[in-house]
Amino acid sequence: MIDNETRQYLLTVWREHRGTIIGGTAGFLIAVLILVIGFFYTLFIAFCVGIGLFIGNEVDKGESKVKDLLNEFQARFGRDLNDYYYDERTKHNL
């Protein structure tokens, strides 16, 4: 286990340099991906993650445009998306 003094030091470093730590880690992971699978595959993965984050963020915020578009798509090919979005707190479909 980590002693209390070391833990406090690490928490202080994290609070003061969170952006630097996250940016450095992300840069390292991107570099490894480029070396392992190549630049364009890495770019494609980043693009797909960005689209997924955008759509997920819009659905979380309750933006009706994305949810309506997804519901329209699902209506043609399967069940309504409201069947999949169930709020545990209110016990209702979103």
The pLDDT tens digits of the residues spanning 17-67 come to 998 998 899 999 999 999 999 999 999 999 999 888 887 777 777 766 777
If pLDDT is split at 50, 70 and 90, which confidence band does 7 have? Answer: very high
Number of structural domains (the chain) is: 2
pLDDT at 57: 76
Same domain, 46 and 72: yes
Same domain, 23 and 63: no
At residue 72, φ and ψ (nearest 5 deg) are: -65, -40
Contacts of 94 (CB under 8 A, 6+ apart): 62, 82, 85, 86, 87
Q: Given a cut of 80, is residue 86 above it in pLDDT? A: no
Is residue 45 located within the same domain as residue 14? no
Instruction: Indicate if 47 and 23 belong to the same structural domain.
Output: no
Model confidence, pTM: 0.55
Please tell me the predicted confidence (pLDDT) of residue 91.
59
**Dihedral sign (CA 36, 39, 41, 44):** positive
Expressed as residue numbers, the domain containing 44 is 38-94
